[in-house]
Structure 1
Amino acid sequence: MGELAARVGDPAFLKQCAVRYTAAGFGVPGEAEVRSWRNSWPPLLRALVRAGLSDLWVYLEYGTPGGGRRLDAMLVGTKADGALGLVVVELKQWHSCRVLDAGRVLRKDGVVTAHPVFQVAAYRSFFQHWRPARAPRLDVRAVVVLHNASPEEAAVLRLGAPAVADIPVLSGADLSAPADDLAALLRAGDLAAPDAARRAAFEGIRWEPSSRLLDQVGSVLEGNSAFALVGDQQDAFLQIRATAALHLPGRGGSTAPGDGTGAVITVRGGPGSGKTALAVRLLGHLMRHHPTTRPRFITPSGTLRAHLLDAVSGHSAARELFPGIGYLRAAARQAGALVIDEAQRIKRGAHGLPPDLAAVIEHVPLAVVFLDERQIIRPDEGTTVEEIHAAAQHLGRTHHHLELTGAFRCAGSASYTAWVDALLYGTPRPWNGHTGYDLGIADDPFQLQQWVEQATAAGHTARTTAGFCWPWTRNRPRGATTLPLDITIDVPSTDPAAPDRTWRAAWNAASALTHPADGRPLAPHNQLWATHTGGHQQIGCIYTAQGLEYRDAGVIIGPDLTWNDDHWEAHPHHSRDETLRHLPPDQYLRYALNTYRVLLTRGTHTTRIHSTHPTTQHKLHTLIHPTSQTG
């Protein structure tokens, strides 16, 4: 760190940092970003050197798992008991601010932002809950440094809440404290230099959620915030919470100070950006702080709703909290607050915006609508942010729009989700395999099936999905103990002496399959296929996978989407979806690309791809080099 402290003021060093920042996938840093480095890094590094902490490892602009935000600085050292000590540092250039409420502050320049203590507390919680079981033991601390503030100005931000009382807020004067005191103030006085092995162990951690969202739904509704929000998730939560306070009566029926016009908030984010985690957390907040509004969570995805109901099966009000999409019109008359997830899936009306959604925008005091326009998969769907904005404006309702940019699935690899988008919508590029996500090619469906079975035997949740290119038999004979093998894929032999083979598999079951003799579960209902026992033995489709996740994802790209020279071509006649198969190819292409984007972004750790079309399979082989594959 001593060498870093000596170089941090050098313009050439800052240029190198800008290059590495861009290479890491954060984009080109703007002038304000570089100015903050130039102003904030030197005071911090000088303080660390003066405190005798030069031997600690320091990471600047450390990207959080999921890419939702970058930490200003992270200190890494070793504790006496062998655990790694991490100190998350939030740097602010502010002189002063005014605390608005428990989560927000008003800066002197008029900008309302997250309270830095709660901001850094969320980062700390995030690392604690994203630590995989096999990772080194971690002791995660946090500190806020306002190097331009006076002791009195910094004191304004200190909080006594138990959850954050141990997070110091340091002023510029604090950075001049005696060395031993300063080391303690920086929460690093008991940390020693990490050796090369410890640093490698830290850098080798593949951050992953230690608890899945659906496992936490019940506790979140009861007020347990173990599933931490971070970065733009937290910013969005605070903004929505503040808007709710303006437009909704509080606990006990107190009247909100709003003007009665109500508000509509749209939240847009890509696959794995944390939309559903935020939506569920928001529902819990509305239940506790605005109970008289009878808040509800509605989604047009029957699969997502089934999993939410399954996750809170012990909650007495579960079904009332998560009504079906058919309740949307009634909710417009009865509920004071609505959270709508996967809104792009709502059926459209004859004149654009779905009539039920239009009724919600007109009448519900607070509607929070989560959507992703690149997950529109049918021609009778497709609500957009622009349509909602126009409707709100026409009705005199306030409209706020928020964006979620993180990638909390796919091992937190924003690079992987960007690779998928480039593959499908832009110029396909080779996968470098160096961002922590495991992507590979399956040579045939037999290999894919074996991979899924091995992952399942190892205790992982592994599933295979495919484009809807084969028939699906809904009805089966009474007492049947097997599902029809509707999916058939011919696999040419690579050995002239060996015969060709045909791979056969069953789609997910229209209803749960149990053994007629003893009731043993043989296959879960299709809505619970992604998580319930036995689901790995059936093939899922877009309608059973959207909105969900599993550890290891196998994807079969069917004959409805093929690569030809330099572009994708659509073949709707290969689709078995009656709402799609009769579309012109140019119209079908949009839905096919969106469908495979969803399927390719379900895996939290690993994805394996196989295309039934030889030329497309070859193209994928050129992009995903065998050396980037593992397992």
Structure 2
Amino acid sequence: MTHERPGAEPVVKADPGVSAQLLAELAVDPTASTRSGPYVRSFAAELTEVGLGEIDALIGFRLPYSSAEFDLILAGIHPESREPSYVAVELKGWDAARLEPSGLAVATGSTSRHRTLHPVVQLDKMIAYLRERAVTRDHPISGLVWFPQASDADVASLFDFVSPEGTRVFTPESREAMAVFLRSQLAPDPDRRAVGALTSTAVSEPRPLLVAAANEFKNPDEFVFLGNQELARSTVLKAAERGTNETLIVTGPPATGKSAIATSLVAELDRRGYSVNHATGSRPATSTWRKVVGTGNPGTKVRSLFTYFNNYTGAVPCGLDVLICDEAQRIRGSSANRYTPRDRRTGVPQVVELIQAAKVSVFFLDPEQALRPGEIGTEELIASAAADNGRTVRRITLDTQFGVDGSSEYLEWTSRLLDGERRTPPIWTGGREFTVEVADTPHDLEARIRERASDGTARIVAGLCWPWHEAKPGEDLPLDIRIGDWARPWSVKGDRGVHGAPSGTLWASDPAGFGQIGSVHNVQGFEFAWTGVIIGPDLVWRTDRWVARPEESYDTSLRRLDDRAVEKHIRRAYGVLLSRSRKGTIIYSTDPETRQMLHQIVPSNAR
């Protein structure tokens, strides 16, 4: 059977309603496609062998509002309280592992060797996240890390870690100790109350990024990071402690937690007394961080911690302990512009200025979100500049979804949808906690988004296919975006609000921004609960492919690009617009053939 939470899609892909004994006897491993599939059935056999075959095993249990999942959750009743009790299981197919002084583990497999988060820390974080989001605090949940291919000696240094969640490490050599541990936590549950309690519990939603970030400066436990998210955070904190010249490059697609980790690090490093700055190449991003975090923390210096990439020309070398650079794909060749005085034009590349400004420099980026010809930040550029400046370079890739309510399916779908090489558009089959709809008119789009506005932040965004006139004080905003009899204004240009509408730099965070239409210029780096996306006439679907029509665009930066680069730029811009939502996206295309294609691949009954 498949278990569901009220109002949500099933939380597991495989049947969780089996005993460990039955799982061990299955002819085909139901999780063979998962990262730990080869070890699930063998672990179930271990449970059966030590007399725990009647314990329920929930396979591939996925965390709410995340793409992370447990390999197994064992469910039963506590032998003393007789109430539901759980043990989360992480299966590691490593041959050996050792703990570094930094607290990270060096794992050795049959074909690879890599640095990673201590598996107990990883599992503890997942348990803490699950407890916070979906499990009542009255029900105990502990952890178990199983190394089926290692001996106790192979992972000896991992045993010493003291887990706040009571997580233990075991190998086949210590299976009897594992049995004792499990019996102290679980007994068979004939009525399967534990399974029912876990899979039907109400789920609490995470706070929106901006709200959580403001709270992070007062509450260090606001964010719970998982997997490589926590690895990135821990690596930066350890680098700050060492105080040596290091550069960390963190890459990841949309909604993998880059901005959340960045702001969390600023808060934690400031709390620990380090000199730290946060920098971006975006006026809307930095202005919003200053307003939201500063307003949430009055009487503090936090506003001054948020800066721009071009603020570090002539900065004292290593004058900061740590510099956090978010949206680093927006790094430019130089911090100088046409207004920069001649005596301030140093000729030093912007990336070098950022690296030299601090002992530890951290760059968060997604190369697929570089939107303007002058934005040159790549992993290779940063790593090369860091090495040339004598820095130790570390790289981490994020792969666990943090926003978008954990719908990795949706982000993968948008990536395939906008793939210029693909000739068959992908069908949206529904996401666990995400909704996609297609609107037939801009009126329909706006009505649906307005209906959901009470569900959190909601905005409408569009491609740059209409003129963008300056709003004048005392006058109504110019209705630049006209589609038939529907007309709406763009967000206000500049740093000042007009006629009750917020400035363009604060459009994404100010509730009064609803009603004006945003663009890639002020949406990048932000998230909304719901987003309406207008695909303009600059990108249309013809038979079996996307066709870019730059003559329909008002984006002047396209004039410097060749035809192939123009098409890539336009598709990438819509990729940014489509990846801003946490709960759902409603799409409208001004082109009838494109709209027809979207209706064909987004069934009306799919979430």
TM-score by length of 2: 0.82
CA shift for structure 1 position 244: 3.6
The worse-fitting range, judged by mean Cα deviation, of 302-311 and 183-192 is 183-192
Give the Å deviation of 1:89.
Answer: 2.4
Q: CA 1:276–1:376 in 2, change beyond 3 Å: closer, same or farther?
A: same
Partners of 2:183 and 2:292 in 1: how far apart?
43
The equivalent of 1:561 in structure 2 is: 539
Q: Report the CA distance shift for 1:242/1:116 in structure 2 as closer, same or farther (over 3 A).
A: same
Equivalent position amino acid for 2:293 in 1: V
Note the C-alpha offset of 1:176: 3.8
Q: How does 1:367-516 map to 2 (within 5 A)?
A: 367-425=361-419, 426-427=421-422, 428-456=425-453, 458-476=454-472, 478-480=473-475, 482-490=476-484, 502-510=485-493, 513=497
Match for residue 346 of structure 1? Answer: 331
CA distance, structure 1, for counterparts of residue 451 and residue 519 of structure 2: 21
Contact 1:531 1:550 in 2 (8 A): no
SS at match of 1:392: helix
Q: Any idea what SS the aligned residue of 1:507 has? A: coil
Do structure 1's residue 217 and structure 2's residue 213 form an aligned pair? yes
| Residue in 2 that maps onto 1:311 | 292
Task: Name the SS of the counterpart of 1:534 in structure 2.
Answer: helix
Amino acid at match of 1:194: R
**Equivalent pair of 2:87/2:144 in contact (CA under 8 Å):** no
Structure 2 Cα separation of the partners of residues 596 and 2 of structure 1: 41
Q: Equivalent residue for 1:496?
A: none
Contact 1:124 1:141 in 2 (8 A): yes
> Is this contact kept in 1: 2:471–2:478, CA < 8 A?
no
Report if the CA contact (8 A) 2:468-2:480 is conserved: yes
Gaps of 5+ in 1: 249-257, 491-501, 516-521
Change in CA separation of 1:201 and 1:341 when aligned onto 2, cut-off 3 Å: same
From 315, 328, 350, the counterpart of 2:312: 328
Does the 8 Å CA contact 1:573/1:582 hold for their aligned counterparts?
no
From the superposition, tell whether residues 332 and 485 of structure 1 become closer, same or farther in structure 2 (CA, over 3 Å): farther
Find the counterpart in structure 2 of residue 295 from structure 1. Answer: 276
**Pairing 1:268-283 to 2, within 5 Å after superposition:** 268-283=251-266
1:601 aligns with 2:582: no
Offset of residue 40 of structure 1: 3.5
Residue 17 (structure 1) aligns with: 31
The alignment's C-alpha RMSD in Å is 3.8
Cα 1:460–1:70 change in 2 (3 A) is: closer
- Whether the 8 Å contact between 2:77 and 2:187 is mirrored in structure 1 is no
**1:612: Cα distance to partner?**
0.5
- Equivalent-residue separation in structure 2 for 1:384 and 1:401 (angstroms): 12
CA distance in 1, matches of 2:194, 2:188: 17
Is the Cα–Cα contact under 8 Å of residues 295 and 338 in structure 1 kept in the other structure?
Answer: yes
Q: Structure 1's 328 and 155: CA in aligned 2 closer, same or farther, altered over 3 A?
A: closer
CA contact (8 A) 1:106 1:112 kept: yes
Distance 1:287 1:435, change over 3 A: same
Question: What's the secondary structure of 1:626's corresponding residue?
Answer: coil
In structure 1, what is the Cα distance between the partners aligned to 2:559 and 2:136? Answer: 51
Q: Say yes or no: does 1:235 pair with 2:231.
A: yes
Contact 2:21 2:44 in 1 (8 A): no
- What is the aligned partner in structure 2 of residue 534 from structure 1? 512
5+ residue gaps, structure 2? 1-15, 337-346
| Cα shift readout 1:20-62 (whole Å, capped 9, x = no counterpart) | x3xxxx6xx5xxx455445544324555xx35x8253x22333
1:546-584 per-residue CA deviation (whole Å, 9 max, x = no partner) reads 111111110000111111222212122222222225644
Alpha-carbon distance in structure 2 between the residues aligned to 1:610 and 1:324: 34
The match for 2:222 is 226
- Identify if the C-alpha distance between structure 1 residues 75 and 400 changes in structure 2 by more than 3 Å, giving closer, same or farther: same
CA deviations on 1:343-395 (whole Å, 9 max, x unpaired) are 111223499x9812123335632211111111011111121111222223333
CA contact (8 A) 2:103 2:118 kept: yes
Q: Which amino acid aligns with 1:406?
A: T
Aligned to 1:201: 200
The one-letter code sitting in structure 2 at the alignment partner of 1:431 is W
**Identical aligned residues as a percent:** 28
Write out per-residue CA displacement over residues 133-172 of structure 1, whole angstroms, 9 at most, x where no aligned residue: xx988846221244776699889636557xx164455676
Q: Is the 8 A contact 2:65 2:433 kept in 1?
A: no
The SS at the match of 1:336 is: strand
In structure 2, what is the equivalent of residue 142 of structure 1?
142
Match of 2:501 among 523, 544, 566: 523
Change (3 A) 1:60 1:195: closer
With over 3 angstroms needed to count, the CA separation of the structure-2 counterparts of 1:219 and 1:157, relative to structure 1, is: farther
- The residue number in structure 2 matching 1:499 is none
TM-score (norm 1): 0.79
Counterpart residue number, 1:493: none
